[in-house]
Amino acid sequence: MIFPFNKEHCELFKDVVFLVQASHNEYHQLWANHYYEPRREATIIQSWDQINVGEMIQIGKLDKRPVCISIFYAKLNGKKVAFYEGTSQVVDHKMIRDWLEHFTLKTIRWDNNSRWANCDAMNFHLCLNALGIK
């Protein structure tokens, strides 16, 4: 699928250093486990500031129905992270990944620019690693 250039969509990722696929519940659990009430074995984040409650964007259509994602942001130890999830009635994970790659694959990188800075909630340790949070 070819996505047209959209300046507003590019602005969504301004200053973002990592992308995390996480539902709102997973986001809350990550916040609770790593910041609010960290477990002994968890990596502790010194500051976690939610930037907004999120934005919902229609990125395409599947069978004439909208495919939407929700993007919400937080600054972890001062670094902006975008959390996203499919939120429409129909969710096409390949379309979401393609859309995110289109707008971020070349700009949001880590590990000496060798990898796309993206993970899911289960692999949140990769985000923490990229941010230098041990």
In this predicted structure, what is the pLDDT of residue 134?
74
50 domain-assigned: yes
Number of domains in the chain: 1
Boundaries of domain holding 102: 7-130
1 domain-assigned: no
Q: The tokens of 46 are what?
A: 């010194």
In this predicted structure, what is the pLDDT of residue 37?
83
Residue linked to tokens 């990550």: 30
Residues 70-109 have pLDDT tens digits of: 999 999 999 999 999 999 999 999 999 999 998 898 999 9
91 domain-assigned: yes
Q: In angstroms, rounded to a whole number, what is the distance separating the alpha carbons of residues 133 and 50?
A: 18
Q: The tokens of 109 are what?
A: 């990188």
Give the global pTM.
0.91
108 domain-assigned: yes
49 domain-assigned: yes
63 domain-assigned: yes
Q: In angstroms, rounded to a whole number, what is the distance separating the alpha carbons of residues 56 and 88?
A: 9
2 domain-assigned: no
Phi/psi for 45 (5° steps) reads -95, 130
In this predicted structure, what is the pLDDT of residue 2?
60
Give 58's contacts (C-beta < 8 A, 6+ positions apart): 66, 67, 68, 88
In this predicted structure, what is the pLDDT of residue 5?
61
Q: Burial level of 124, CB count in 10 A (0-12/13-18/19+)?
A: buried
43 domain-assigned: yes
In this predicted structure, what is the pLDDT of residue 126?
95
How many helices and strands, by DSSP H and E, does the chain display?
Answer: 4, 8
Compute mean pLDDT per 10 residues along the chain, 134 residues long, and list them: 68 92 96 85 85 87 94 95 95 94 91 95 95 87
39: left (phi > 0), else alpha (psi -120 to 50), else beta? beta
